[in-house]
């Protein structure tokens, strides 16, 4: 199983929101998952301040630690785990076909772009790339009862930044890591194209020509020039 570890992200000033359309879609999903605006504000503050540690991403799973300090208490370190649904084998195969369907799509992904057409065609194939709020399951070691809590929302906020910068993070979470995607595309391109099948008429013509050629060779061996002229 491929695990990608991202070092702690540097603190960011201002809103520090996603800038791409797919990054914003991730942000909308985490906002849908939140219970209250106060939780979102707290989460954004934690994410921007650098309270989130290194983030580990694997198929369907994100793990990170969040340092939090409540007024009058010592700083506490909480472990957050986020889970999103993973594509099944059929879904992964369909996604590879969608990526390979148009020239330039894999190049766009490697360059940090997620074409609208790719996502739309994936949806048509029954493959959902962009998550929605109720898909995101979170756990945290804090004593809070909300799910997701502000610590989990802070991690999700930073994952939005990672997805914003590299849409392949999104594919990894859905079950298709970068190296796996490239290997599947390479294997697909290396397969020979299936030969065109002859239709019935062409097949009959080819068989007739083969029979005539064999008969001519037989007559030539017998020096029967008249019969050869008749066949020609």
Q: Which two tokens stand for residue 203?
A: 């097949």
Q: List strands edge to edge, sheet with 61-68.
A: 4-6, 52-58, 61-68, 76-83, 137-140
- Mean pLDDT over all residues of the chain? 85
176 vs 75 pLDDT, higher one: 176
* Residues 107-141: tens digit of each pLDDT: 999 999 999 999 999 999 999 999 988 899 999 99
% of the chain with per-residue pLDDT over 90: 64
SS3 104: coil
Residue 62 in tokens: 């994100």
What is the helix (H) or strand (E) element at residue 183, kind and residue range?
helix 178-190
In whole angstroms, give the CA distance from residue 129 to residue 100.
16
Residue where the block lists tokens 């998952």: 33
pTM: 0.79
Condensed to tens digits (0 to 9), the pLDDT of residues 50-77 reads 999 999 999 999 999 999 877 666 789 9
Task: Kindly report, residue by residue over 213-227, the tens digit of the pLDDT.
Answer: 555 555 555 555 555
Lowest-confidence region among 18-32, 40-54, 69-83? 69-83
Phi, psi of 12 (to 5 degrees): -125, 145
pLDDT value for 1: 75
Determine the pLDDT at residue 16. 63
**pLDDT at res. 183:** 95
Most confident of 10-14, 174-178, 216-220: 174-178
- The answer to whether the peptide bond before residue 32 is cis (omega within 30 degrees of 0) is no
Confidence of residue 88 (pLDDT cuts 50, 70, 90): very high
Between 122 and 207, residue with greater pLDDT: 122
Best CA proximity match to 159, nearest among 13, 43, 67: 43
Widest CA span of the chain, in angstroms? Answer: 115
**What was the pLDDT predicted at 208?**
57
């Amino acid at each position: 199983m491929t695990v990608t570890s991202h070092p702690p992200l540097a603190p960011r000033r201002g809103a520090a929101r996603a800038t791409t359309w797919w990054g914003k879609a991730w942000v909308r999903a985490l906002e849908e998952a939140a219970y209250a605006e106060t939780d979102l504000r707290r989460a954004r503050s934690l994410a921007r301040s650098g309270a989130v540690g290194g983030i580990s991403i694997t198929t369907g799973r994100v793990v990170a630690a969040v340092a939090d300090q409540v007024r009058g208490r010592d700083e506490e370190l909480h472990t957050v785990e986020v889970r999103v649904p993973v594509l099944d084998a059929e879904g992964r195969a369909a996604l590879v076909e969608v990526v390979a369907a148009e020239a330039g799509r894999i190049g766009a992904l490697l360059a940090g772009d997620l074409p609208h057409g790719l996502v739309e065609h994936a949806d048509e194939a029954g493959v959902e790339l962009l998550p929605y709020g109720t898909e995101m399951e979170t756990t945290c070691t804090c004593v809070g009862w909300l799910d997701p809590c502000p610590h989990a929302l802070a991690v999700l906020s930073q994952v939005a930044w990672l997805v914003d910068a590299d849409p392949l993070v999104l594919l990894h979470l859905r079950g298709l890591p970068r190296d796996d995607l490239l290997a599947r595309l390479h294997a697909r391109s290396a397969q020979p194209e299936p030969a065109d099948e002859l239709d019935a008429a062409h097949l009959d013509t080819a068989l007739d020509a083969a029979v005539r050629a064999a008969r001519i060779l037989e007559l030539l061996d017998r020096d029967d020039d008249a019969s050869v002229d008749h066949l020609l």
